[in-house]
């Protein structure tokens, strides 16, 4: 054992913090976890490793770590429960964001299907790419010409015409015994 062991900082039994200090030549850090001093007796030696062990496993350190773990679990549990409880603001907000937007539906059946993605980059020097099976190539832009016109509908409600024939009603099948 070499002389000149340093006494690291420590906390006494009252909870007061004490800074570390160096012991003179041929003296050692002696004492306990809660009281340290320099002495010449190698049997009372408190090595730096033992001093660090006192710091790592002090009751206050263990209590601090335990309370941090309990607080973390409580916060996570509260958030999870709040997302599952229908009376909670976060649950209502999550459900509200899931509802689809209400509005007119626009059919897209008249548009051509999208081209499948290329399986690999195309080299422009290689020339035209053969068409993929099941895919018919289309022009990039629509051909020039008049734009498609939507049918004109009369404005307002339909007009009643007493001379018009009644609407078509399919004949009812006749069953025997009916």
pLDDT digit string, tens, across residues 21-47: 998 888 889 998 888 999 998 888 888
- Is-above-0.75 flag for pTM? no
pLDDT number for residue 127: 66
26 and 73 co-located in one domain: no
Question: What is the pLDDT, as a whole number, of residue 107?
Answer: 64
- So what's the pLDDT on residue 138? 64
Spans in the chain with pLDDT lower than 70: 1-5, 56-58, 98-124, 126-132, 134-156, 158, 177-178
Q: Torsion angle, CA of 47/51/56/59, rounded to 10 degrees?
A: 130
Regarding whether 23 and 7 lie in a shared domain, the answer is: yes
Max Cα-Cα span within the chain: 127
Residue 18 lies in a domain: yes
The H or E element that residue 83 is part of is helix 59-84
In a domain, 90, yes or no: yes
96 in a domain, yes or no? yes
Structure-token pair, residue 175: 């069953």
Give the SS3 label for residue 32.
coil
* CA dist., res. 54 & res. 18, Å (int): 14
pLDDT of residue 69: 94
Q: Which domain holds residue 89?
A: 59-102
Phi, psi of 73 (to 5 degrees): -65, -40
One domain, residues 47 and 65: no
**Under 8 Å CB-to-CB from 10, ≥6 apart: which residues?**
17, 18, 20, 33, 34, 36, 51, 54, 55
Same domain, 44 and 13: yes
Separation CA 132–CA 137 (nearest Å): 9
* pLDDT (0 to 100) of residue 67: 92
Q: Is residue 162 part of a domain?
A: no
pLDDT for the residue 74: 93
**Number of domains comprising the chain:** 2
């Amino acid at each position: 054992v070499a002389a000149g062991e340093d006494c690291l900082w420590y906390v006494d039994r009252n909870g007061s913090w004490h800074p570390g200090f160096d012991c003179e030549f041929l003296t050692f850090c002696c004492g306990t976890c809660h009281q340290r001093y320099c002495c010449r007796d190698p049997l009372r030696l408190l090595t730096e490793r033992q001093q660090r062990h006192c710091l790592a496993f002090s009751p206050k350190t263990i209590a601090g770590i335990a309370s941090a773990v309990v607080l973390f679990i409580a916060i996570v549990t509260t958030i999870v429960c709040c997302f599952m409880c229908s009376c909670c603001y976060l649950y209502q907000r999550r459900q509200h964001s899931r509802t689809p937007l209400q509005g007119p539906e626009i059919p897209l059946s008249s548009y051509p299907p999208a081209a499948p993605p290329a399986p690999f980059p195309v080299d422009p020097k290689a020339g035209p790419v053969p068409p993929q099976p099941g895919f018919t190539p289309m022009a990039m832009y629509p051909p020039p010409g008049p734009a498609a016109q939507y049918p004109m509908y009369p404005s307002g409600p339909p007009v009643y015409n007493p001379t018009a024939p009644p609407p078509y009603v399919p004949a009812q099948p006749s069953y025997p015994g009916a």
